[in-house]
């Protein structure tokens, strides 16, 4: 099974069926960014701290896995030179719609973050909303980000807490918490072939939990220094009442 194509189709479907990640930012948010107050999110509920974004004005920024009319137009309105890479052509088209609506410009690339199609030292920052849970090998992503970042460039990303993947996702959607899976979770290994095929046929994304050792440990091994961190809720009360640190947000800097 081609997981890349399956996830591309799934996100195309999500874009056409009301995904929160495919809603174009309001004119008010864009105007605030034009006036030096950029508000973006890389997790579900909380905005990224302004001090993470303010130094990026006028810089070359890659928005990785960020199609959908949100991070791209806000960063462009703030004054960044934005390139966006996303696996979903529909998400890219929503970014284009947002840019056209607000008279903004960015380079939009439909492609896979596992194989960065950019030259070394091309960017001053890479910003990625929760998207690396759809990638099996995030070490390859880290290596690609490290390669395309300039020295002292920042890597800002959100990712799901691995603990979320312990639970039966069908019951979780109904607000019932039942531990079902061992970690690290992988749709391609934790599910049977029949279950995986059904998941793809429902246009569900194929996901991977990763481990904290991989998410944070491999990041520092790769040559990044962690300079900022926060956690976020899911926005779904039954889950948040059990686990408030549903998502992790990291800011790190390339130092070697």
Q: What is the pLDDT of residues 202-219, one digit of tens each?
A: 999 999 999 999 999 999
- For the chain, domain boundaries: 3-160+208-254
Q: What does the DSSP assignment read for 179-243?
A: B---SS-BHHHHS-HHHHHHHHHTTPPP-B---HIIIIIHHHHHTEEEEEEEEE--S-HHHHTT-
CATH superfamily of domain region 3-160+208-254: Vaccinia Virus protein VP39 (3.40.50.150)
pLDDT band at residue 169, thresholds of 50, 70 and 90? confident
> Contact 166/190 with Cβ under 8 angstroms?
no
> What pTM value is reported for the model?
0.96
Q: What is the mean pLDDT of residues 235-239?
A: 87
User: How much is the mean pLDDT over the chain?
Assistant: 95
For the ranges 82-86, 161-165, 168-172, which has the lowest average pLDDT? 168-172
Q: What is the pLDDT of residue 237?
A: 84
Mean pLDDT of 49-70: 96
Among 33-47, 103-117, 234-248, name the one with the lowest average pLDDT. 234-248
How many Å from the N-terminal Cα to the C-terminal Cα in the chain?
A: 37
43: left (phi over 0), alpha (psi -120 to 50) or beta: beta
Token match 């979770």: residue? 185
pLDDT at 198: 94
Res 173 pLDDT > 80: no
What is the mean predicted confidence (pLDDT) over 54-63? 98
Q: What is the pLDDT of residues 131-162, one digit of tens each?
A: 999 999 999 999 999 999 999 999 999 999 99
Quickly state the pLDDT bin for 120 (edges 50, 70, 90): very high
Q: Residue 143: what pLDDT?
A: 97
- Enumerate residues 6+ apart whose C-beta is below 8 A from 183: 162, 163, 165, 166, 209, 211
Token couple for 182: 């061992």
């Amino acid at each position: 099974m081609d997981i890349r194509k399956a996830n591309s189709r799934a996100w195309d479907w999500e874009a056409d069926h009301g995904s929160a990640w495919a809603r174009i930012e309001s004119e008010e948010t864009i105007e605030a960014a034009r006036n030096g107050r950029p508000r973006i999110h890389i997790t579900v509920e909380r905005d990224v701290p302004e001090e993470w974004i303010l130094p990026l004005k006028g810089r070359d920024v890659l928005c990785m896995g960020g199609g959908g009319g949100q991070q791209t137009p806000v960063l462009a309105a703030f004054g960044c030179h934005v390139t966006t890479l996303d696996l979903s052509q529909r998400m890219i088209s929503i970014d284009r719609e947002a840019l056209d609506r607000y008279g903004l410009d960015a380079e939009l690339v439909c492609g896979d973050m596992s194989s960065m199609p950019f030259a070394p030292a091309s960017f001053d920052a890479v910003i990625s909303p929760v998207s690396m849970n759809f990638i099996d090998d995030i070490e390859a992503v880290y290596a690609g980000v490290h390669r395309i970042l300039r020295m002292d460039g920042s890597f800002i990303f959100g990712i799901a807490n691995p603990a979320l993947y312990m639970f039966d996702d069908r019951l979780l959607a109904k607000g019932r918490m039942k531990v079902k899976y061992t970690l690290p979770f992988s749709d391609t290994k934790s599910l049977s072939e029949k279950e995986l095929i059904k998941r793809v046929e429902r246009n569900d994304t194929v996901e991977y939990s990763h481990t904290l050792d991989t998410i944070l440990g491999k990041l520092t091994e790769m040559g990044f220094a962690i300079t900022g961190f926060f956690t976020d809720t899911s926005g779904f009360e039954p889950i948040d009442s059990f686990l408030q640190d549903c998502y992790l947000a990291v800011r790190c800097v390339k130092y070697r």
